[in-house]
Amino acid sequence: MSLLSRPAGNKKVPIPVPEEKLKEGTPKEQVFVASQWQLMWWRFRKHHLAILGTSLIAVFYLLAIFCEFLSPYDPNAFERRYTFVPPQAIHFFHEGVWEGPFIYGLERARDPETYLITYQPDTEVRYPVEFFVQGDSYKMWGLLESSRHLFGLSSDVNARGLRIYLLGTDRLGRDMFSRVLYGARISLSIGLIGVFLSFVIGIFMGGISGYFGGMPDLIIQRIIEFLRSIPTIPLWMGLSAALPRDWSSLQRYFAIVLLLSLIGWTGLARVVRGRFLAVREEDYVTAALLQNASEARIILRHMLPSFFSYIIASLTLAIPGMILGETSLSFLGLGLRPPIISWGVLLQEAQNLQTVALAPWLLIPAIFVVIAILSFNFMGDGLRDAADPYKR
Amino acid sequence: MANDEILLDVKGLKTQFALEEGTVRAVDGVDFTVKRGKTLCVVGESGCGKSVTARAILGIVPSPGKVVDGQMLFYKEDENGSVRPIDLATLRPNGQEIRSIRGAEISMVFQEPMTSFSPVYKIGHQIREPILIHQQVSKAEAREIAIDMLRRCGLPRPERVFDQYPWELSGGMRQRAMIARALVCRPSLLIADEPTTALDVTTETQILELMKELQDELGMAILFITHDLGVVAEVAEEVIVMYLGKVVERADVISLFYEAKHPYTQALLRSIPTISKERRHRLDTIEGMVPDPYNVPSGCPFHPRCPAFMPGICDVIEPPIYALEKGHLARCHLYNEELVGNVMDEPASS
Amino acid sequence: MARYIVQRLLYAIPTLIMISLVSFAIIELPPGDYLSSYIAKLEQQGSRVSQSELEALQQRYGLNQPVYVRYWKWISNFVRGDMGMSFEWNRPVKDLVMERIGLTALISLLSTLFIWAVALPIGIYSATHQYSLSDYLFTFIGFLGVGIPDFLLALVILWWAWSTFGVNLGGLYGPEFIGEPWTWPKVMEVVKRIWVPMVIIGTAGTAGMIRTMRANLLDELPQPYVESARASGLSETETVLKYPVRIALSPFVSTVGWMLPGLISGTTIVAIVLSLPTTGPLLLKALLSQDMYLAASFIMLLSILTVIGTLVSDILLVLVDPRIRFDDVQAG
């Protein structure tokens, strides 16, 4: 039995076996030694929204990891002639004839009344979309130097200063698609690192609180109650505004993550404490005590595994809060600042109503934020339901 | 029997639950009669449909269950003493008419004394409720009636109990209060759904005693649902035995215990622990488990577990009810002389 | 009961002290003290600060004294209602804060009422009609409501109203009312516009509350006490409303306490997007220009507002659920 499987002596209830499992020819006996993870997985995959959410999250993280390669341009490269270009559509047929993926040229015109520049597709010119093209050079993960991108326009078209803008451009003529991908890297990593830090603090504080009880519990409970009873956004705002202005982007990044997790650990600590209190009374813990097992062994080997799944579920549910915190702060101009690109930083461009009315595609990062948050919520919901395979 | 003795006449009652996995025929053609002032016991293992039968009478079968067929004639006595039958099966669930019967003419005591009272209202509030629903009395009068009933149910200091919350009473006290709540409108029929299962043995005896006393005092009939044959022996006058939604045997309590006819009843009786001098005497159990309600066995539903199973008959033909001596009824092919003559000579005896 | 309330009040005291410490830390944290930025600001505007003025200011804020003295000076002044000066506005912080905290509290309160009014009936309906089409619909809307951050919702609604109707939904009153006293037309104008922030801030909370109420009620509906109430002749509506809903309400009420911080947070950031004359935009401005006395006072007051709200919901909870009273008597 692995470390994480259900400790022996816990209530063993015959588990209804999914029928397809039996049909696959799994020996019947295996059902009764199915590890906790197998049971979780069986329940989890019944939750269709959770599966959808998990797949979307996987796609998002892949986008974030390979953003240098997947984005056609350097996110900070700007093109003065192409500011506020609306998203361009990729076409496959020209006048009913298959042409493969291509885009039409852009016709630039100045509105005679408002003096605003408008763009119209120029159906006379067609530029094919090519794959694995040469483009702006980059250093993948700061290590591998390359200038190959997944897709883009051919290099001679590139040289003429023409670009493909899948999600349009911002006020400086930067490619929103590339920026959203790079933003995903920062926003999604903040979620992970923030939750990891919260997890460390939460499991430490919650563990002390739940295992020892008494005075430490009382103090930690008061702290948690305090942190939960103050409005987070004003507090985050205040604390991040107090960060020194001359800090580098990287310092700022870590400071913001730290701030988010310093306030966000309380939920996890409550879960850990609650579970500790519940499990402490279980017979198998008493049994371990009677066998003279050491305290560390009881905690690590007997207690933690029994509620590890709950912790994973609450971790997942805590990530969207982190992402949202960063997005809100950066949106207000108190979190990350350019040149770092996060979804919140991108949305800051959309703060002004007039700008949004002029270029609604600046709101596109918001769609990514919402999808990410929903996906994490679905996944966490599914995990939470699956965490207790013995329920119902 | 004279007709005016009958209080409730159930004929061919069918209740079904339409679930995703299939339709469960929880009650599948049940007939029985309850006589005024008498106690009828319904015995059976869990899942045999006895609780659903009770709920069907009150029209409170939990969703998605529905009464799909049958008659439940309730002979209601009105103010001037004339008796008029009402078919409870035709009343709209939650309609005005069935609600005027619920809690007033027919009331029910449930299995869980711990959770059958809402924890947020005082005992008195919940006992007074049926009075206020069904009778034109003031709150103060209702309080008097409720306290009187609490006293009759043997609760010490009923005035105090009236103002207590349910969680301040012990299980036995709470079940007494539950009975008071059921009887507060003087119903003519009390349905008791395993009222003592959750109690310890001493309290059980007290509650059973109390119910018998109250029956003598108030004259209501009791439909007593239980799985415990020991309880049956104590309270019943007549007994029906249910198995998978069907009545398999009906008899008065004496004949049931001494001359059980149906192999299932015989098996149930054998599984009662007895004190015997023989050590290492193994307790008899009924072989197998209650079948899956979605796939009720063909023929006689009891045949897979039956010690007197007759291949080719029991698993093919559904047995009808056979009327035996002294009003004893049994649903078993063993009492069909033509069939049995071919297979075996004498029915399994206990 | 009284004992319980007193106990909750006592619990609030350490929380308030901690809040004041954090707020003070926000004043102290930025590099360079408050005074030097103030002087820099004044010099930018071309005015000189004399040595005596400087000393007077130093005296007032206790700048040349140890931290705990400064904290004590600040908090005792705060309690007495003196919250320092805003150098950005050159006005007492107290005036600026008081102008706006009322509207903030009003919008939060209205949003709470909105959440209750919408979430309660929908939650009950969803639970009693579990797996019906409308139940699925509400569950889906609930998920969306939880997933969409309120400030993004505000942004999208603002853009949508602007691009389709040419209406700017921002603000609570037109420019002609700015700085005007609270006359009848101004009040009517606010009444006309206040529903926009109310609905936007309430959405996330409503969605969460529907889910809470539905889950609570689904736990309660199969309970035996519901059946026994039904068996005593109550109608179905009466049964559901009087018995299971009443019990499902207590966890519902207690979530109101947890909801409040989120509500105040939401109010802050939505107000910035909608440029409402509440604390949000002013707090942001103060933070961006390091007007720390103003910012800290806002944070302090918003937190106090939340603590009061939580306290009220705790007391409400006791009124709904007598079991808590009982536990308390037993424990205490």
Q: Domain C101-280 belongs to what topology?
A: MetI-like fold (1.10.3720)
Give residue ranges of B with CB < 8 Å to any C CB.
Answer: 58, 60, 62, 94, 99-104, 107-108, 110-112, 115-121, 126, 129-130, 133-134, 165, 167-168, 178, 181-182
Cα distance between residue A131 and residue A6, in whole Å: 49
Average pLDDT of span C228-234: 87
CB within 8 A of A304, min separation 6: which ones? none
Could C225 and B60 be called an inter-chain contact, meaning their C-beta atoms sit closer than 8 Å?
A: no
Question: Does a structural domain hold residue B176?
Answer: yes
- Angstrom distance (rounded) from CA A322 to CA A255: 13
Would you place residue C78 in the very low, low, confident or very high pLDDT band (cuts 50, 70, 90)? confident
Cα torsion for A149, A151, A154, A155, to the nearest 10°? -20
Q: Is C225 on the interface with A (CB under 8 A)?
A: no
The reply to whether residue B99 touches residue C228, judged by beta carbons under 8 angstroms, is: no
Strand spans (E) along A56-142? 91-94, 97-110, 117-140
Å between C220 CA and nearest CA of chain B:
10
List CB contacts of B152: < 8 A, sequence separation 6 or more. B180, B183, B214, B217
Output the CA torsion C293→C299→C300→C303 (10° steps). 180
Below-50 pLDDT ranges, chain B: 1-2, 344-350
Residue of C nearest to A247 (CA): C31
Buried (b) or exposed (e) across C118-147, using 16+ Cβ within 10 A?
Answer: bbbebbbbbbbeeeeeebeebbeebbebbb
Q: Domain tally for chain B?
A: 1
Q: What is the CA radius of gyration of chain B?
A: 21
Token pair for residue A90?
């990729």
Q: Residue C326: its pLDDT value, please?
A: 55
Q: B150: domain range?
A: 117-186
**Using 50, 70 and 90 to split pLDDT, how confident is the model at C41?**
low
| Beta-carbon contacts of residue A236 (< 8 Å; ≥ 6 apart) | A259, A260, A263, A325, A328, A329, A334
Q: Is residue B154 part of a domain?
A: yes
Q: Nearest Cα to A151, choosing from A137, A165, A128, A130?
A: A130
> According to the model, what pLDDT value does residue B346 have?
46
Least confident of A106-120, A361-375, B322-336, C114-128: A106-120
Sole residue written with tokens 């690109």: A341
The burial class, CB within 10 Å (0-12 / 13-18 / 19+), for B326 is exposed
Q: How far is CA B3 from CA B32, B34, B83, B164, B291, in A?
A: 14, 11, 11, 44, 38
Q: What percent of chain A has pLDDT over 70?
A: 90
> Above 70 in pLDDT, residue A23?
no
Tokens of C163: 């691009």
Q: Report helix angle A304-332 to A364-387, nearest 10.
A: 170
Q: What is the pLDDT of residues A158-179, one digit of tens each?
A: 777 778 888 888 888 888 899 9
CB-based contact (8 Å) between C310 and chain A?
Answer: yes
Q: Does C273 sit within 8 Å of A241, measured CB to CB? A: no
Average pLDDT of span C115-137: 87
Which whole number is the average pLDDT over A237-243?
A: 81
Q: Are C206 and C145 in contact (CB under 8 A)?
A: yes
> Got the DSSP string for A162-198?
----TT-B-TT--BHHHHHHHHHHHHHHHHHHHHHHH
Please name the residue of chain C whose CA is at the shortest distance from the CA of residue B182: C232
The closest alpha carbon to B314, from B267, B271, B264, B266, belongs to B264
Q: What is the tens place of the pLDDT at every residue in C127-153?
A: 888 878 888 888 888 888 877 888 888
Q: How many helices (H) and strands (E) does chain C have?
A: 15, 2
**Is residue C288 pLDDT above 90, yes or no?**
no
For residue C332, the model assigns a pLDDT of 32
Res A90: pLDDT:
83
Q: Indicate the Cα dihedral angle A128, A133, A134, A136, nearest 10°.
A: 80
Task: Give the burial string for C282-319 (b: 16+ CB within 10 Å, else e).
Answer: bbbebbebbbbbbbbbbbbbbbbbbbebbbebbebbbe
Q: Looking at this predicted complex, what is its ipTM?
A: 0.82
* pLDDT tens-digit readout, A178-194: 999 999 998 999 889 99
For residues C308 and C231, what is the distance between their CA atoms, to the nearest angstrom?
A: 42
Q: What pLDDT is stored for residue B238 in this prediction?
A: 93
Subunit contact C152:A347, Cβ cutoff 8 A: yes
Contacts of C310 in chain A (CB under 8 A): 229
Per-domain residue ranges for chain C?
A: 101-280
Amino acid type, A170: D
B134 inside domain = yes
CB atoms within 10 A of CB A352: 11
How would you classify residue C204: left for phi > 0, otherwise alpha for psi between -120 and 50, otherwise beta? Answer: alpha
- Nearest one of C160, C186, C159, C190 to C276, comparing CA atoms: C190
Contact C225 B116 (CB under 8 A): yes
> Subunits with at least 3 CB pairs below 8 A relative to chain A?
C
> Could B120 and C320 be called an inter-chain contact, meaning their C-beta atoms sit closer than 8 Å?
yes
Q: B290 in the Ramachandran plot: left (φ > 0), alpha (ψ -120 to 50) or beta?
A: beta
Residue A30, pLDDT score? 41
Query: Which is nearest to B223 in space by CA: B109, B134, B111?
Result: B109
For residue B44, give both structure tokens.
Answer: 């059976």
